[in-house]
């Protein structure tokens, strides 16, 4: 019995040594028997956004500004003229304002006590999540600029829009200064509601009642 166990253990160690000496089998390239096509593991970085995504530069700033990186669990004071990327979060404190520019895409002006997450900055569509405060968004390009405010979706195809989010009452107010925009939400009956805004329109949305109307 002991001889058998030693034989089994010896076989296992032999296989292990073979694997360690031939570690190229753990190469980053995998071959699938079905079609023999080779696939390379995609490079992914938690710290850095995809190379094709747009970066934002700080056009102006004043007062208290907080910044949360892609890998951080909490915000810290924004120091210097940092290059901003998708996946990061900006917050302004009392008397804090900041304007961020994405070249040929969008200009984002945040007023005091405001929080915005830079969700996506791919050239085909910029997406922001505004959870509180007041922001002016300007579309500088051809691709739409999308903003989520609580459970309201705003799509700015061109022009300039002011959005104010009251995280205490759940109300979102919009004012389209110029251009065109579309807002959408689901009612309490799970019906999709879509409204088109033109320059000069003001729209109020109640996220608790899931109702919106022109003012």
Mean pLDDT of the residues in the chain: 86
Fold of 57-214: Jelly Rolls (2.60.120)
Average of per-residue pLDDT across 199-203: 99
Question: Could you read off the pLDDT of 140-157 as tens digits, one per residue?
Answer: 999 999 999 999 999 999
Distances (CA, A) of 209 to 131, 183, 212: 17, 16, 9
Nearest CA among 59, 135, 71 for reference residue 101: 59
Residue 61, Cβ density class (10 Å: 0-12 exposed, 13-18 middle, ≥19 buried): middle
- Where in the chain are the domains? 2-40, 57-214
For residue 43, is pLDDT > 80?
no
Residue 42 binned pLDDT confidence (cut-offs 50, 70, 90) = low
End-to-end CA distance of the chain: 88
Nearest CA among 41, 19, 21, 20 for reference residue 30: 41
Average of per-residue pLDDT across 21-37: 44
**168-194 CB burial, b ≥16 within 10 A, e <16:** eeebbbbbbeebbbebebeeeeeeeee
For residue 38, is pLDDT > 80?
no
The predicted pLDDT at position 20 comes to 42
Average of per-residue pLDDT across 20-28: 43
pTM of the model: 0.78
The predicted pLDDT at position 40 comes to 53
Say if CB 115 and CB 83 are below 8 A apart. Answer: no
Which residue in the block uniquely carries the two structure tokens 């799970």? 190
Nearest CA among 143, 107, 146 for reference residue 130: 146
């Amino acid at each position: 019995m002991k001889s058998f166990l030693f034989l089994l253990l010896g076989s296992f160690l032999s296989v292990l040594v073979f694997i360690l000496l031939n570690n190229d089998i753990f190469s980053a390239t995998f071959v699938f028997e079905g079609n023999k096509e080779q696939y390379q593991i995609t490079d992914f970085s938690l710290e850095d956004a995809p190379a094709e995504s747009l970066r934002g530069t700080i056009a102006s700033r004043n007062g208290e500004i907080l910044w949360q990186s892609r890998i951080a669990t909490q915000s810290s004071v924004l120091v210097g003229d940092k290059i901003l990327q998708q996946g990061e979060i900006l917050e302004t404190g009392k008397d804090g304002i900041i304007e961020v520019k994405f070249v040929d895409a969008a200009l984002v002006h945040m007023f005091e006590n405001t929080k915005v997450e830079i969700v996506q900055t791919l050239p085909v569509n910029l997406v922001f999540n505004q959870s509180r405060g007041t922001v002016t968004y300007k579309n500088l390009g051809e691709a739409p600029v999308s903003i989520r405010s609580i459970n309201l979706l705003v799509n700015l195809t061109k022009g300039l829009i002011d959005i104010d989010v009251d995280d205490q009452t759940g109300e979102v107010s919009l004012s389209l200064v110029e251009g065109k925009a579309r807002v959408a939400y689901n009612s309490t009956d799970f019906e999709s509601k879509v409204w088109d805004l033109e320059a000069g329109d003001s729209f109020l949305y109640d996220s608790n009642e899931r109702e919106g109307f022109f003012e």
